[in-house]
Amino acid sequence: MLLWQEYKEGTPSGYQYSQFCELYRQWRKKLDLSMRQEHHAGEKFFVDYSGQTVPIVDTSTGEIRAAQLFVGVMGNSNQTYVEATWTQSLADWTGSHARAFAFLGAVPHCLVPDNLLSAINKTCRYEPDVNPTYAELADHYGTAIVPARVRHPKDKAKVEGGVLIAQRFILASLRNRTFFSLAEANAAIRERLVLLNNRPFRKLPGCRQSRFEEIDLPAMLTLPATPYEYAQWKKARVHIDYHIELEGHFYSIPHRLVKEQVDVRYTETTVECLSRGNRVASHARSFIKGRHTTIQEHMPKAHQEFAAWTAGRIISWAAQNGPATAQVVENIMSRKVYPEHGFRSCMGIISLAKRYSKERLEAACERAVTIKGATYKSIKSILDNNLDRQPLTRQMDILPLVHENIRGTDYYNDERKHYADTTNH
């Protein structure tokens, strides 16, 4: 109205308001022109979520939960895939793609998603930051990801139209049905989806399914031997004990990477650690919190040697010195609540063979067993005092036992003498 009034002030005999508006509308239509997109065979697969959800009733509580609707459309044939998932999370997003490719029986050359968080970490007109898990899915299937531009819905007009068709042809037809599980809802969606893809075109020969099999399918990529396994990524700092923490469990990393940051890729079954793009560690996934999964090769050499000692190995090594040495070591560990608590004493006893000799250590251990003094200090005292070189006799049972906590017979003889003198007085 304002423009018309200004126009009439300059041209009193000009167009009346209604004609002016009609001419303005015709002019305005030419401002926003749309370029017709040509889609090559098997090239693009447009993916998005529908704003309309699928209500599913919880049988135990009666609560209604809204399931999300994933929609994918092939650019050339308009072949459509639709399924319901609980969320739009990364796990559901990648899972829907894997199931869509299985439904198609092939892989498109290019994926065109919207800029949702499960697909794009950071939007950019020229170099968008694709989520690493989504990028890994694309690498697994050998396809590429080309996100639509932000606030440019015409970049993915195919899936926009596919969402409307899914809402009208699939969801509208199921509006009077009540679903009690996600599987039940997807079974009903699949029935309507087959009808949609086989419904004849109005202006073109054939249908979505026939056009897909004729044009798209021969030009698409073949499916890999195994479907994509969902994996998550995180960054972790290698602790001073050369382990990284993942959901409460600790996994070893080569010790040279201590205090460095690594990329961690983890699935339900495996944990992989990468440094500068190279895999440096791989472990079986464990869900036991507070425990460690350690590979011996990741440890420094000194730690490897220490960790290699077990109760069985120590006893076996002691047995190489002689049966008495093995018996002493076994007695020490049997007296401990945890055998590991006796490792240091046993290692000390075994090390005495270097200072004296294997023969002398064996003799000292034999004497220690006889006098029931199977300790490191007792055996060392025997060796220091050359008692191992004295012959063992039956009188050995009454010989003084060298031990820091035992006072000896002389002490008690002196005590008895003192007690007798005191009594007489």
For 405, counting Cβ atoms within 10 Å of its Cβ (0-12 exposed, 13-18 middle, 19+ buried), the class is exposed
Q: Are 160 and 114 in contact (CB under 8 A)?
A: no
pLDDT tens digits, one per residue of 35-78? 555 678 888 899 989 888 999 998 888 899 999 999 999 988 88
- Residue 99 above 60 pLDDT? yes
Beta carbons of 376 and 348 less than 8 angstroms apart: yes
The whole-number average pLDDT for the span 416-422 is 47
Query: Could you tell me the pLDDT band of residue 115, with boundaries at 50, 70 and 90?
Result: confident
Question: What 3-state class would DSSP assign to 411?
Answer: helix
- Using CA atoms, how far residue 175 sits from 57, 172, 185, in Å, is 13, 5, 11
Q: Which amino acid is at 231?
A: A
Mean per-residue pLDDT over the chain, rounded: 83
Q: Residues 6 or more apart from 19 whose CB is under 8 A from it?
A: none
What does the pLDDT read at residue 284? Answer: 93
153-169 pLDDT tens trace: 555 556 677 788 888 88
| Pair of tokens at residue 168 | 């009208």
Q: Residue 313 has what pLDDT? A: 76
The single residue listed with the structure tokens 């300059």 is: 10
Q: What's the pLDDT score for residue 311? A: 74
How many helices and strands (H and E) does the chain possess? 15, 15
Assess contact for 283 and 290: CB atoms under 8 A.
no
113 forms beta bridges with 47
Domain annotation for the chain: domains and CATH numbers: 44-219 (3.30.420.10), 232-305 (no CATH), 310-411 (no CATH)
Bigger pLDDT: 80 vs 120: 80
Of 100, 104, 75, 102, nearest in space to 85 by CA: 100
